[in-house]
């Protein structure tokens, strides 16, 4: 049943003409011969050198390429308003969505779900998933060469196991936009980086929720809290500003006994 549904879905995509234009290859039938597959690979080899293996300089008559680093507030707003009829947009970021940070604290206690505060980049700027010259690259920018108008990038391959080796590549640009944001401040407090959890990304909120739920469950185990240590339901905030106050408010609403 699942296989037939998948085949019907693929057929609909094929009829709509939504096969990836970048690779220059249409949907392959499972019954394709080895010769047909080899021919398709050869066609790809002719296209790929000008593709992600190295997005070279734009040729005369092509649209100028705007490369945006980051998918935060600044980068996402710029890409949303960018006129893609006159520019190709290439976004390089380790995340494929924008986080609505004012509501991020609400996800830590379940007031909101994580998907409610994350907006996919493809919705913000549809061109990155539909326009032939626009891309989103899940990578980090590691170096900028302003003289050659290129940036060096490295793919994001985070994970505990079966991690791929990072792939390095270059991207040429006509205009470069820095929207990488800044690192969270520790105010010089020792041990914060090693033991505290920052609240800037969705995975940070997921980790805080996991720890809160774990400690709440452990605090109900008979004699466990006394045998180990006190303070399983104690939350220590190191920065009581916007995110800290939001988190405190949500904690008080959801768990008044804490």
Q: Token pair of 188, please?
A: 């010089």
Cα–Cα distance for residue pair 135/133, rounded to 1 Å: 7
Instruction: Provide the β-strand partners of residue 118.
Output: 99
18-32, 179-193, 237-251: the lowest-pLDDT one:
18-32
Range of 35-44, 104-113, 132-141, 181-190 with top mean pLDDT: 132-141
Asked whether the predicted pLDDT for residue 58 surpasses 80, the reply is yes
Q: How high is the pLDDT of residue 189?
A: 85
pLDDT confidence band for 251 (50 / 70 / 90): low
Give the three-class secondary structure for 142: strand
pLDDT confidence band for 247 (50 / 70 / 90): low
Length of the chain equals 258
Which residue's entry shows tokens 């507030």?
A: 73
Cα–Cα distance for residue pair 124/91, rounded to 1 Å: 12
Q: How high is the pLDDT of residue 228?
A: 55
Asked whether the predicted pLDDT for residue 19 surpasses 80, the reply is no
52-61, 85-94, 191-200, 231-240: the lowest-pLDDT one:
231-240
Beta-carbon contacts of residue 243 (< 8 Å; ≥ 6 apart): 101, 104, 105, 199
Which residue's entry shows tokens 């994001």?
A: 156
Q: How high is the pLDDT of residue 110?
A: 82
Q: So where are the chain's domains?
A: 50-178, 192-254
Instruction: Render pLDDT for 115-173 as a digit per residue (tens, 0 to 9).
Output: 999 999 999 999 999 999 999 999 999 999 999 999 999 998 875 555 678 889 999 99
Q: Where are the beta strands (DSSP E) in 127-181?
A: 135-145, 150-155, 168-172, 175-178
Q: Token pair of 97, please?
A: 């969505």
pTM beyond 0.85: the answer is no
Cα–Cα distance for residue pair 92/180, rounded to 1 Å: 10
Average pLDDT taken over every residue of the chain: 75
Beta-carbon contacts of residue 20 (< 8 Å; ≥ 6 apart): none
Higher pLDDT among residues 145 and 32, named by residue: 145
Please report, for the chain, how many H helices and E strands are present, in that order: 10, 8
CATH number for the domain whose boundaries are 50-178: 3.50.50.60
Asked whether the predicted pLDDT for residue 17 surpasses 60, the reply is no
Read off the DSSP letter of residue 55.
B
142 phi/psi in degrees, rounded to 5: -105, -20
Instruction: Render pLDDT for 70-107 as a digit per residue (tens, 0 to 9).
Output: 999 999 999 999 999 999 999 999 999 999 988 888 88
pLDDT confidence band for 54 (50 / 70 / 90): low
Q: How high is the pLDDT of residue 22?
A: 34
- Cα-based distances in Å from 128 to 54, 199, 231, 247, 248: 17, 28, 48, 34, 38
């Amino acid at each position: 049943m699942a296989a037939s549904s998948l085949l019907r879905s693929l057929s609909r995509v094929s009829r709509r003409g939504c096969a990836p234009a970048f690779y220059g290859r249409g949907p392959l039938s499972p019954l394709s011969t080895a010769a047909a597959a080899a021919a398709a690979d050869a066609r790809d080899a002719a296209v790929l050198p000008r593709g992600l293996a190295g997005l070279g300089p734009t040729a005369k008559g092509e649209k100028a390429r705007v490369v945006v680093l980051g998918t935060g507030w600044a980068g996402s707003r710029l890409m949303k308003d960018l006129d893609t009829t006159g520019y190709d947009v290439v976004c390089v970021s380790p995340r494929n969505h924008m986080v609505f940070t004012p509501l991020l604290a609400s996800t830590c206690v379940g007031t909101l779900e994580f998907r409610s505060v994350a907006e996919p980049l493809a919705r913000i700027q549809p061109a990155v998933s539909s326009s032939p010259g626009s891309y989103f690259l899940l990578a980090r920018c590691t170096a900028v060469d302003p003289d050659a108008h290129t940036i060096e990038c490295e793919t994001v391959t985070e994970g505990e196991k079966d991690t791929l080796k990072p792939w390095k590549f270059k991207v040429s640009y006509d205009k470069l936009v820095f929207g990488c944001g800044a690192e969270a401040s520790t105010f010089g407090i020792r041990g914060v980086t090693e033991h505290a959890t920052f609240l800037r990304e969705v995975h940070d909120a997921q980790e805080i929720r996991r720890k809160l739920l774990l400690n709440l469950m452990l605090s109900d185990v008979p004699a466990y809290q006394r045998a180990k240590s006190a303070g399983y339901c104690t939350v220590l905030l190191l920065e009581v500003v916007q995110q800290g106050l939001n988190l405190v408010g949500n904690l008080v609403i959801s768990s008044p006994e804490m």
